[in-house]
Structure 1
Amino acid sequence: MSTTTETAPRAGARVRVQKFGTFLSNMVLPNIGAFIAWGLITALFIETGWVTLVGGWLGYDGGYGFVEKLGAWGSGADGSGIVGPMITYLLPLLIGYTGGRMTYDDNIRGGVVGAIATMGAITGASVPMFLGAMVMGPLGGWSMKKLDAMWAHKIRPGFEMLINNFSAGIWGGFLAIIGFVVAGPFVEAFSNLASKLVDTLVANNLLPLTSLFIEPAKILFLNNAINQGILTPLGTAEAQEAGKSILFLLEANPGPGLGLLLAFSVFGGGIAKASAPGAVVIQFVGGIHEIYFPYVLMKPVLVLAVIAGGMTGVATNVAFDSGLRSPASPGSIIAVWASAPPSSLLGVTVSVLAAAAVSFAVASFLLRIDPTRGEGDLAAATADMEARKGKASIASSTLAGAGARSSGHQGPIHSIVFACDAGMGSSAMGASVLRRKVQGAGFDDVTVVNKAISSLSDEWDLVVTHRDLTTRAEQRTGSALHVSVDNFMNSPRYDEIVELLRSTNAEEGQHAAASPAVPERAAAAGAGSGVATEQSVLAESAILLRGTATNRDEAITEAGELLVRCGAVEADYVPAMHEREKSVSTYMGNLLAIPHGTNEAKSGIHHTAISFVRYPDGLDWNGSQVEFVIGIAGAGDDHMKLLGPIAHTFLDESQVARLREAGTTGDVQAILGRLEP
């Protein structure tokens, strides 16, 4: 409770900054096409543009006629060029119109009044009025909305158009005057002050230090407030005067993210390493930088890598005196090159490569000294990223599945398969828990089975997998709905599946009232018959009330050696348990892990047995707390008959409490004796 109280204000402040940044970006991003058009025209037709540059290479020294007029340069220019008016009038007016329309609930009247108010700010200053547009545009739309509400439903029929037009004109004219007198001079003074600050940083070689807050701000989705609120307006003003601006590259350089993802591709582990190469393409070519944010959130120390990369990129651009003509959005290498003037192409390219190299070096070092090689809960980090962003990320959905993924399947759901790597332990337990919930909700004719992913065919209505295996399952069952879970015992996805059944199967009358006998039927379905005797399933010698292991791998070995000691398995079965753990975690939830061997290791099982190890102080199992480790060796299909009752035992809080308090091996045998048919 104290933690929540202390962090809430900071979280609230962060959310407010995020919302403010999103508001600013929503005014700028819809008009990026206009920025690109201005940048291309500038790149082609100003005096140092591509047309004159290529002409010089070809030995053409004559006049350029319309080129001079378009770029408004040279003796033939009469000041009527297109470059200046676009940045002075078109771009700010578009931003003002968009902001006014946004604040008036997407009403065109708000956009018109916002544009009128912005025009006053434009003419009241001598610098490009982007900041003024971001103030006057929304102010115009919001205030017009409030005024319209004052006389709503009070205008006589036939006078609506007259009142609406004159009210917008009068109020817009008033705001234009306010913009001319107040907003224009104020924003001009602010822009001049900010420009001097940037010049001071450049003159003292301090500009690279901006990466110390820009790179972490990106991870926290605070970059929009910095980029759209400060860097883009200042950079555009600087580009108008100098033909380029380094400010456009402070946040958009794709090098730091590229280096981080390459380091994961080479030195990472688990799903993070497997997903990193695909993320490289999305980030570097697609320009979606947020694809690498979960990797940093998963291992926060890696923020040092992107900071170092960002500082290197900025320092390189300062050294080469390079910059962009217009914002590079999205931050793709293609957009960066397209926005770079000819004189900056080399410097910009070197800055990207240098940033990537430094970020790669730092991230590689940090990963190599990390015992887990950066292997962590990438899906949880992705969820954390989306929570910080405030919405789901299309790009980051490639990293880890969450929830039900839509597909070609429509209509009622009759068949559900819980799939895992081997189709044994985790999927059998998950299927048992889910089957009980489905039958308990009255869907008796919906089948819930478990299989290995390799044996799946495209015949299932719904496929449930651990989140690390969803992509593989989708490749084999493309027409099914897919649900990803990370907790086999009590995942909230199970309840979502039941609700999904209620909505999809209701029309066919599939939903019947729950029967009080269902739990018994479910338990029977999970337990089956033919399990070996109690002595062979859980021998006294296979119970350890206080384990000595301190980490996951030691706990697997400890549980496996107990199975070897009671004569249930060969010694080679223990390495197979470790091999099984590499494919997907055997953490089940509810403080329980059930390590077991691979399918190939079944030949080393003499008879069905389980081992029980309790860790009163708990131990870390891939980031989750575990107190009970049950090693499983199931001959034939016995593992499926064991896992259902194990699941039901650990879903019962009273039974878990009894196991936690058990003082003798006999107490444990008495509790887990419920496993027997």
Structure 2
Amino acid sequence: MEALNEKRGNKSKESTKVSTKVRAQKVGTFLSNMVIPNIGAFISWGLLTALFIPKGYFPNESLAQMVSPMITYLLPLLIGYTGGKMIAGHRGGVIGAVASMGVIVGTDVPMFIGAMIMGPIAGWSIKKFDDTFQSKIRVGFEMLVNNFSSGIIGFTLAILGYLAIGPLVTSVMKVLSSGIEFMINANLLPLVNVFTEPGKVIFLNNAINHGILGPLGVEQAAETGKSVLFILSANPGPGFGVLLAYMLFGKGTAKASAPGAAIIQFIGGIHELYFPYVLMKPLMILAVIAGGVAGTFTFTILDTGLVATASPGSIISVIAMTPKGEYLQILAGVSASIAASFVVAMLILKADRSTTEEDFESNVEKMQAMKAESKGKEVKTTLVSANDELSADTVKRIIFACDAGMGSSAMGASILRNKVKKAGLDIAVTNSAISNLTDEVGTLIVTQIELAPRALEKTPSGLHETVDNFLSSPKYDEIVSKLSES
């Protein structure tokens, strides 16, 4: 009986621990989801900065005037709008932007964190108002109530942001900036990679890069024109080093698939591709940590960084965001990352005396389960399948959907689009974030297996198919074959 009670107690503690972890991950994912849809605007600002500021490639005093208003007003307003829209649609987005204006005007630093706070607060406020009063509005007064409620709530939150949230966030940002400056001056910043690299492998990569490091990097870049924080998580070196080691010293399926994964990861910037290779051997986490630490140490010693977030984490994006005259420093840091992670990964693989082929597919499934957990979702063991209903008559378009609507969905859509085109089918294939899906009859939604419940909830009228590994799934051929039969 005592043993049973002890077992139950341990299980309860473990459950509490997991719940805390999941809650933290969900917060990080929510923050990153406010930034990811606006990455294009960040890149535009980064290019303007790199080209036209006094230290840029083509200094231009007139065009450089756009840099400050974009970082001060445009980017925070976009984040505030997106945060409100995520909770309460367009109406919430508008109030989110209005509320964010309060924190922007009330401070003298770029208010990205403030917008991340005010946007969701505004969305939640307008949603609660609508849920409470929408059914009580008399016929004919809907527009009057909706417009004035939006105006009053936005007005109130803007004042709150100006008087309270803005100054509070400014104080916090100054403390964080001072801490980062101390770590850089003391050459301690590489220690951050001890936490960020394992975090990436358990699918906190977007939360780390866009939810934490990005906003802090913008604050630093506004003062110095560049920030090493932009390259900490986006550095493709650690993952490429691991994949390179598998190419030369791996076994079986992992070795055979590593070259393709390495090219796509390093040039395409989809870091998710190396995660299964790390999960395959838990010690491999030491390789990516070594790569991250070596790269960050090199960046810090050479006093370099990027002008804006490199997204995706591709070597091409990294080079595009490199300040004028600092290509060698950036490439030196990336090369140091590759070398360090490769050496450690090589030692781990050569020390492995097992003669059996590594079960790569099971680790892909493990990766997908961890990704699902990182988003706070229960992993489903049954597939959502519409295979029996697929035909050219029932499917008018195909959408490959993922969480952010960028990396894996873009690749999956590209692969499926080529197969559909080769089969001579006149069906459009696109990619989308799950949050942007609309419920339409005649749409086939293809998702990774762990995202299927969310996609089904968002589009119950559509047809649904799931894949385990978006890079090489037999489901693509099954879908095309089924559509070609009719």
Structure 1 length-normalised TM:
0.55
2:139 matches 1:157: yes
Over residues 548-571 of structure 1, what are the superposed CA-to-partner deviations in whole Å (9 max), with x where a residue is unaligned? xxxxxxxxxxxxxxxxxxxxxxxx
Query: 1:68 aligns to what?
Result: 61
Residue 406 (structure 1) shift: 9.2
CA–CA distance in structure 2, aligned partners of residues 49 and 35 of structure 1: 17
Query: 1:319 aligns to what?
Result: 301
Provide closer, same or farther for how the CA distance between residues 275 and 144 of structure 1 changes in structure 2, counting only shifts above 3 A. same
1:85 to 65, 69, 78: 69
Residue 229 (structure 1) shift: 3.0
CA–CA distance in structure 2, aligned partners of residues 126 and 477 of structure 1: 56
Query: 2:53 aligns to what?
Result: 46
Query: 1:287 aligns to what?
Result: 269
1:99 to 69, 83, 104: 83
CA–CA distance in structure 2, aligned partners of residues 141 and 362 of structure 1: 47
Residue type matched to 2:25 in 1?
A: Q
Could you tell me whether the CA contact under 8 Å between 1:264 and 1:374 is conserved in 2?
A: no
Residue 202 (structure 1) shift: 0.9
Residue 8 (structure 1) shift: 2.1
- The structure with higher relative contact order (CA 8 Å, sep 6+) is 2
Query: 2:167 aligns to what?
Result: 185
Residue 4 (structure 1) shift: 4.3
Residue type matched to 1:251 in 2?
A: S
CA–CA distance in structure 2, aligned partners of residues 217 and 304 of structure 1: 13
Residue type matched to 2:18 in 1?
A: A
CA–CA distance in structure 2, aligned partners of residues 230 and 194 of structure 1: 11
SS at match of 1:51: coil
Could you tell me whether the CA contact under 8 Å between 1:95 and 1:137 is conserved in 2?
A: yes
Query: 1:638 aligns to what?
Result: none
SS at match of 1:126: coil
Residue 224 (structure 1) shift: 3.4
Q: Unpaired segments of 5 or more residues in structure 1?
A: 53-66, 72-80, 394-401, 412-466, 482-677
SS at match of 1:14: helix
1:236 to 218, 224, 227: 218
CA–CA distance in structure 1, aligned partners of residues 314 and 56 of structure 2: 22
CA–CA distance in structure 2, aligned partners of residues 238 and 368 of structure 1: 42
CA–CA distance in structure 1, aligned partners of residues 355 and 267 of structure 2: 26
What is the number of equivalent residue pairs in this alignment? Answer: 392
Query: 1:541 aligns to what?
Result: none
Residue 206 (structure 1) shift: 0.6
Could you tell me whether the CA contact under 8 Å between 1:283 and 1:332 is conserved in 2?
A: yes
CA–CA distance in structure 2, aligned partners of residues 374 and 172 of structure 1: 63
Residue 352 (structure 1) shift: 0.8
Query: 2:370 aligns to what?
Result: 388
SS at match of 2:305: coil
CA–CA distance in structure 2, aligned partners of residues 477 and 96 of structure 1: 42
Provide closer, same or farther for how the CA distance between residues 476 and 232 of structure 1 changes in structure 2, counting only shifts above 3 A. closer
Residue type matched to 1:38 in 2?
A: W
CA–CA distance in structure 1, aligned partners of residues 365 and 329 of structure 2: 37
Q: Which runs of 4+ in 1 moved over 6 A?
A: 402-409, 470-478
1:11 to 4, 13, 18: 18
2:320 matches 1:342: no
SS at match of 2:74: helix
Residue type matched to 1:102 in 2?
A: M
Could you tell me whether the CA contact under 8 Å between 2:126 and 2:150 is conserved in 1?
A: yes
Over residues 441-488 of structure 1, what are the superposed CA-to-partner deviations in whole Å (9 max), with x where a residue is unaligned? xxxxxxxxxxxxxxxxxxxxxxxxxx99x969899999657xxxxxxx
Superposed, which structure 2 residues align to 1:434-445 within 5 Å?
none
Query: 1:37 aligns to what?
Result: 44
Residue type matched to 2:264 in 1?
A: I
Superposed, which structure 2 residues align to 1:355-504 within 5 Å?
355-372=337-354, 375-390=357-372, 410=390
Could you tell me whether the CA contact under 8 Å between 2:25 and 2:374 is conserved in 1?
A: no
Residue 103 (structure 1) shift: 1.2
Residue type matched to 2:48 in 1?
A: I
Residue 181 (structure 1) shift: 0.8
Query: 2:448 aligns to what?
Result: none
SS at match of 1:372: coil
2:228 matches 1:246: yes
The share of aligned pairs that are identical, in percent, is 52
Query: 1:331 aligns to what?
Result: 313
Residue type matched to 1:238 in 2?
A: Q
CA–CA distance in structure 2, aligned partners of residues 392 and 283 of structure 1: 21
Residue 227 (structure 1) shift: 2.6
Residue 403 (structure 1) shift: 6.8
Residue type matched to 1:273 in 2?
A: K
Structure 2 length-normalised TM:
0.76
Residue type matched to 2:57 in 1?
A: W
CA–CA distance in structure 1, aligned partners of residues 233 and 17 of structure 2: 24
Residue 222 (structure 1) shift: 2.5
Could you tell me whether the CA contact under 8 Å between 1:124 and 1:181 is conserved in 2?
A: yes
Superposed, which structure 2 residues align to 1:643-662 within 5 Å?
none
Residue 230 (structure 1) shift: 2.3
CA–CA distance in structure 2, aligned partners of residues 150 and 199 of structure 1: 47
CA RMSD of aligned residues (A): 2.7
1:267 to 233, 244, 249: 249
Residue 408 (structure 1) shift: 12
Whose Rg is larger? 1
CA–CA distance in structure 2, aligned partners of residues 277 and 474 of structure 1: 22
